[in-house]
Structure 1
């Protein structure tokens, strides 16, 4: 029995040997951020409405925020490949933390707009973060590695319950202000943790100048566009298919809670419980899905995620509490599948030296389409039909699954 136990321990050590150095530091920072972020997100759209906004204003704020986020993706990818990942990540995580003060003090929705745009500009470090994560994982462990980095999100299971507690005890507005102050403090702690990261790239120079990011913009755009001729075509199809799906998903994202509470008559605290259930499913399924992605490949899980979303949207549109429980079960598994399989396939197809630029380019177009999606989604929800954005998302999953099946092929040799 002791021998079997030792064998199990040895196997586990070998399976999770990558959890050290940068990966361990990032996981600690994600624990803090993943717990904090969903607390104010739970009732964000209702908060905007209470501060004088409308469903269209919710979409307008999302549009402005995502446009700002898109604009920093090219220089973010360029700077990550030229100056390295670490410095950009650390500096901008501090900036992101301080952006939450605007939400906490907002007397009207206008200051939320300001905080949202500033926070998005600080996310210039996203390409660097994704690159340093991919750099720090061995190729044969990427599926399980990305799943483990997701599992730290288990801490967010309790976050909607914290939001529900604040709502029940302090009301919507005061509870949201407390939630944003909590988020700022925890993000500052995460930024401090990231100071210990080690650089994974040999860089031209360690000194970063802000104006260089501005001056480098045309060159960053040029290099990011040219990069598609240097990588496999499957990487381009992967980006094209799932960027398009981002547009339809963004049409719906801010309106789930508004639709659920105003059309389906779901109570606010019930919504918090449903989000808790989704988080439990998503993060609880991450480890077996990560192993599945490593064993069966990346393509099949990508197709399966589209099919799950297609089934789930029917349940949401005509939902009650039992149907929403099943919807969030399917959505949680679907989100876990697409997140792990997409990131693994992207890392397999794109060489390390091009990774920052590719991530910057794909993120730029993702956010442009997402921004337009939120604006159009707000208009459709408010002026045409509350159900229509969700029906459009449902319809988009069918060609998404077919195109993935036909156009995306796994590489014979995975990139380091």
Structure 2
């Protein structure tokens, strides 16, 4: 057998729980020579391979053929990510079934698929348990190393460790020439730069990603890029430009089979852009589309209450509140729902202590996060309430908070 299978022999030996000395004793081959086989310094003869196969309970020829099958599965998996097919469960199942028949479904590219899926599913403990083993296995395989750094970076990003994420993404970029992998990498990089407040780099990378997704016809990813462009422009207070990008995203999504909630989220983002621009009437126009698709979603409801409140359509705001009491028990939206309910009840009068304390609590909770737009939005609510109550001392405190927030963003 001419092929150098040293790395595979080491993997199988480790999987069987044997040291080089153990394998040497069982095969009658010196452990130092076995080390040369595993290190690629010497190619074992067919007779030696037969002895090793017997001890390790593996057929090397079959192992190599199965590896070719795994290569195809791996390529299909990466395409699934690129085209956003949401087939992770299919690939997980395929690997689990493969493990029952073939040993090499337990490491290498099959394990790299598992690593990526663990990170996408936020199962970080399981990902970290196999991370070092994968980096060791793929040393010198730059495309796979690039994927490891890319998804390690994504894990950092999910922990809000954006500088560490960007470092991983930069390293990954130096290792890959695969255009599809680069498209995914640029997408992940853009989101990390956005979270860091570097909107220029975020826009640069999302445009790079969009071009690659367009090149290969990944319409779902292209649509996502238009949404991300809209979000970036909104963050930069370019609201009309943001609306244009969101409209393109809507048209793109109409060309593909996608869940209705995706369209609803885009319309909600368009409404939010208009709320930030203080064009509440137009915000309600976009919200009507979201309401048709996802009427009970927290953001749909909150935006409906807020726009009507600001337009002094108090009866309509009350109707939104009355129709959506389910948010009282929704851990993600209950505080905001209660705040907006109290605001509508208060109208333009002097706020109650309960209303004031809840608004301040929400700002304090947001200060622990990194959502500049929403912190700013709720600080403005507090400032309005303080202005009505005549509390100048507290007002100065929140004005300073707003100034510092703007400086640091």
When normalised by structure 1's length, the TM-score is 0.21
Greater relative contact order (Cα < 8 A, sep 6+): 1
Greater Cα radius of gyration, structure 1 or 2: 2
When normalised by structure 2's length, the TM-score is 0.22
